[in-house]
Structure 1
């Protein structure tokens, strides 16, 4: 077993992790080792696909929710016209042994020139294929907003932002669960939590909403800001509980960059032309999570979008456990014998093959001692009852055939005749049969 560090996360690599979709030691199903945090492993890849959800909760693989989705930013360098900006080469900042930053370099940016553009999409491209692409804000901005909109609900596990510029002195990570109508904070980040946000630093008070852990200007480039939704402070035992959904479920993610800071190496060019260094820049925005399926699916498909990108996390669940809906949030038509709940869905209504759907009734559920609450809809084949378990008046059942048989007998007194009435399930009683002209007769005689 070999231990590595990637994007600020320690993990153990076993030989099995060399192939996609293997569980890492902390329980993530991954395509690369950036995913390891505490979260239930979605499924066991060694089990046959048909058995992974059998009799237990299952989850889709975790991936990068940002892949295939373009963030929206307030500004972009060179959006209105060509801008000149300056920066210190990465090797100077990462490997300098003196207080100086070395010689700066300057360049132009223009969103209409591919070789000189640094667009929002550059944050969410493949960071292995394009390790030196980045988004950059306009020059001189103090406040910047980066927003990632999803087409449906997803489950978030953690966020990693890798900065090209020094990390902000203050920023907020927020989520929306109603498609951007309202926002709530995940975490505040600041060099001084008390002065900036009036909150205690979580380095001092565990569980605080603010941290100074990722707000230092050093390293001046490739500094990371990391948020883990399932941190030790968030002690959630049931990943499908209302508390877990309130924390993990989202439709939009937003980063508010509130205060820039410069690299403390005090380069002379920074003093002479500070405005050319006054921007935010981000190499990568990684948003790990999965489609939201309530523990009832192990894969998802495209939802309300055109176009597809490799490794993109889709949002429409392929439901198992007899559940239905985009997020497996309800029972399938014939499986309403018990109240729907996440991570289960194994029961079904006993309609004896005489109904196509059923619904749940609380009164029936309570009357049965909370064992069964399903009521079959529109019983067919001349049956009736909560479970289509008895014949309508004027019909009888052939005890020699199962209750689920749609044509379990011939009518009484004429079983020896070649004539067979077009009646299913429960057959006509003698008097009603003699009065029948075609189809299913009503009960009684005419």
Structure 2
């Protein structure tokens, strides 16, 4: 009797799976990505840096100090390569301070996810500095043509003057599946260290409950790029740094301005078009591969298997499985007669 009940439950679950789309689990794709930056502190020469939180007028900090960053040091605590941003440890990446020149406001970080995924969110955690001021989050399928996902600015007026986009006031919201907004919400000066930036690419969009083809296209990417364009500074230092070359300013001031990131998380999943709930690593290709169901085939379950073309292929959705059906269903008597 128990065996019969289990068999019936299995049949019901199988039938239910045919009626709805199947989707793989969300993964942190950054942990297996290749990451690079065009600038890192201590490269090519060692440099001294200071923490802004320890040098704010009116704040008393015990034992403030200015450590050394040296990309070639034998001491791992003095090295801050970009790989620290995705290795899951408490170490961090750090850019050169603007003591080395104004050009270090402009730093680019690129992640190669090694294949195209659907990206749901990106979380960036700062280390020993404030979050970046002005910057652009970008996506690409081929690593050559990049398009913006979101703009971030020190102020609402900067959204207009720098990026020519009307600012979205308050916490980021979206009016369509593909709207690209500019926000100052995550560029505030405080906290002076360990601040976070949460960018949702699906939640809050028009078709987030059952993603449209436009939203699927908007969130598809292999490459993710952070184009950092302005370090967040104290208002008291802003005018001085704007009027002078940072190399001519007292190093006590300029050594405390740099970017730092201790973690980048990229939440995403394999693109299986609603026809697979598993996406394991293929030992040969070294890529995550959809385990197709619903009688679908192809690298992304993007076509009906041979003999299952009774209806044209359609992607599975949260409400409909759109299973590919056998040609035999139309002609059972003819095949039996043969």
TM-score surpassing 0.5? yes
Structure 2 residue corresponding to 1:151, chosen from 109, 114, 117: 114
Cα distance change on mapping 1:88 and 1:275 into 2, 3 Å: closer
Q: Which residue of 2 aligns with 1:202?
A: 168
C-alpha deviation, 1:198, in angstroms: 1.9
Q: Which residue of 2 aligns with 1:262?
A: 233
Q: Which one of 70, 92, 100 corresponds to residue 134 of structure 1?
A: 92
Which TM-score applies when normalising by structure 1?
A: 0.59
SS of match in other structure, 1:150: strand
Aligned pairs, how many? 297
Measured at CA, do residues 272 and 348 of structure 1 come closer, stay the same or move farther in structure 2, by a change above 3 Å? Answer: closer
- Tell me which residue corresponds to 2:74: 113
Equivalent position to 1:230, from 180, 197, 202 = 202
Please state how far the C-alpha of 1:48 moved relative to its aligned partner: 9.8
Give the Å deviation of 1:196: 2.2
SS at match of 2:229: strand
Q: 1:56: which partner in 2? A: 20
Q: How far off is 1:206 after superposition? A: 5.5
**Does the 8 Å contact 1:351/1:389 carry over to 2?**
no
Structure 1 residues 177-188: aligned runs within 5 Å: 178-188=141-151
> Matched residues in 2 for 1:82 and 1:272: separation?
15
Structure 1 residue 184 displacement after superposition: 1.2
When residues 201 and 167 of structure 1 are mapped into structure 2, their CA distance, relative to the original with a 3 A threshold, is: same
Please state if 1:245 is matched with 2:204: no
Q: CA deviation at 1:186?
A: 0.9
The separation in 2 between residues aligned to 1:247 and 1:150, in whole angstroms, is 16
- After superposition, the CA RMSD in angstroms is 3.3
Instruction: Evaluate the alpha carbon distance shift between residue 219 and residue 264 of structure 1 in structure 2; reply closer, same or farther with a 3 A threshold.
Output: farther
Cα pair 1:145 1:257 within 8 Å, conserved: yes
The structure in which a higher percent of residues are helix is: 2
**Which of the pair is proportionally richer in strand?**
1
Where in structure 2 are the equivalents of 1:350-429 lying within 5 Å? 350-351=327-328, 403-404=335-336, 425=338
Mapped partners of 2:168, 2:206: distance in 1: 16
Partner of 2:293: 320
* Pairwise CA distance, 1:50: 5.8
Q: 1:114: how far off?
A: 5.2
Q: CA deviation at 1:388?
A: 9.9
Contact 2:122 2:266 in 1 (8 A): yes
1:218 paired with 2:184, answer no
For residues 252 and 12 of structure 2, the distance between their equivalents in structure 1, rounded to whole angstroms, comes to 63
**Gap change, CA 1:272 and 1:120, over 3 Å in 2:** closer
Whole-Å Cα distance in 1 between the matches of residues 16 and 46 of structure 2? 55
Q: Tell me the equivalent position of 2:270.
A: 291
